[in-house]
């Protein structure tokens, strides 16, 4: 290998390492700060590594906010299941059945994702109050599904379009109904793609802040809203905020770690034509 090529590879590696460090360093700092005492948080010069693993921050955060963490878990689960139940049949129908104005319908579905949630804040708030869904789990689930459904349909559609139609036609010749074709042929063939849709929906739902911020007042509050409450007018509880952030990030990191192969396989399958 020539010296010039070796220098270029070294330079690219250095740039990649620098970018990676810039993205990972805040997460490492939050993880370390979660185990610091209040004294260590304000010590000068800064204490980079805590002297011991102080678990009091996690204990205080969970003691005071465990119901809201449960709300986040419940909302994420219900939203993911609801989105999959609606998005998969819709995407299958758009991919398989000929219909008039299909392209326009697909673009309309995608365009609904382009509207930021803040643009619908007032109408959603008024509708939730009128339907007695304000500060309730069902009200949040409906809103979450509404804002995640278009992305799920569009992503699922890209996977269903890769299916060999001969297999679907063979199933129909054998006497299978379209529901059986969907559940017994199309879904098993697209397990990787469906898993990708489920993971992205779960991540979006778990990290959602704006919707629960103006659609709840206490009972149905989620853990993301809790993270905004550690800062007061005169004091910020940095160590508990770091512990809360670590709790918020950990489930998604674990989920992504266990399904990363499925996600990569699903994305690759959807990209190849």
Is 6 part of a structural domain of the chain? no
Query: Domain holding 259: CATH number?
Result: 1.10.3720.10
Domain count, the chain: 1
Tokens at residue 255, please?
A: 């989920």
Is 197 part of a structural domain of the chain? yes
The answer to whether the beta carbons of residues 222 and 248 sit under 8 Å apart is: no
Is 172 part of a structural domain of the chain? yes
Contact residues for 227 (Cβ-Cβ < 8 A; gap 6+)? 241, 244, 245, 248
Its domain, for residue 144, covers 57-271
The answer to whether the beta carbons of residues 34 and 227 sit under 8 Å apart is: no
Q: pTM here?
A: 0.83
Is 36 part of a structural domain of the chain? no
How does pLDDT run across 2-42, given as a tens digit for each residue?
Answer: 677 778 888 888 899 899 888 888 888 888 888 888 888 87
Is 10 part of a structural domain of the chain? no
How does pLDDT run across 128-176, given as a tens digit for each residue?
Answer: 999 999 999 999 999 999 989 998 998 888 888 888 888 888 888 888 8
Is 122 part of a structural domain of the chain? yes
Degrees, nearest 5: CA angle 126-201-191:
145
**What is the share, in percent, of the chain residues with pLDDT greater than 90?**
26
Exposure pattern of 185-194 as b/e (b: 16+ CB <10 Å)?
bbbebbebbb
State yes or no: pLDDT of 49 exceeds 90: no
Is 133 part of a structural domain of the chain? yes
State yes or no: pLDDT of 66 exceeds 50: yes
Is 88 part of a structural domain of the chain? yes
Query: Which residue from 16, 137, 162, 165 is spatially nearest to 77, judged by alpha carbons?
Result: 137
Q: What is the pLDDT of residue 268?
A: 57
State yes or no: pLDDT of 1 exceeds 60: no
* Segments in the chain forming alpha helices (H): 3-33, 38-41, 56-96, 102-111, 121-130, 137-160, 165-173, 178-181, 187-189, 191-207, 210-215, 223-226, 238-271
């Amino acid at each position: 290998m020539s010296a010039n090529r070796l220098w270029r590879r070294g330079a690219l590696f250095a740039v990649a390492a620098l970018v990676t460090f810039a993205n990972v360093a805040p997460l490492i700092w939050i993880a370390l700060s979660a185990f610091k005492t209040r004294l260590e948080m304000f010590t000068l010069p800064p204490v980079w590594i805590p002297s011991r693993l102080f678990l009091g921050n996690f204990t205080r955060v969970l003691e005071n906010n465990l119901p809201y963490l449960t709300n986040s878990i419940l909302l994420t689960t219900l939203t993911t299941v609801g989105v999959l139940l609606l998005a998969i049949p819709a995407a299958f129908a758009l991919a398989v059945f000929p219909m008039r104005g299909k392209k326009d319908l697909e673009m309309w579905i995608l365009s609904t994702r382009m509207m930021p949630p803040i643009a619908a804040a007032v109408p959603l708030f008024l509708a939730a109050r009128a339907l007695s869904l304000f500060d309730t789990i069902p009200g949040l689930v409906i809103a979450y599904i509404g804002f995640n459904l278009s992305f799920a349909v569009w992503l699922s559609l890209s996977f269903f379009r890769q299916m060999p139609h001969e297999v679907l036609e063979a199933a129909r010749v054998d006497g299978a109904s379209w529901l059986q074709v969907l559940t017994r042929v199309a879904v098993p063939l697209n397990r990787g793609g469906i898993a990708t849709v489920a993971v992205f929906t779960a991540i979006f739902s778990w990290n959602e802040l704006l919707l629960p911020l103006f659609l709840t007042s206490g009972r149905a509050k989620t853990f993301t809203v809790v993270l905004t409450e550690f800062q007061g007018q005169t004091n910020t509880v940095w160590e508990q905020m770091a512990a809360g952030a670590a709790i918020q990030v950990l489930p998604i990191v674990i989920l992504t770690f266990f399904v990363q192969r499925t996600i990569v396989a699903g994305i690759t399958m959807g990209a190849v034509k």
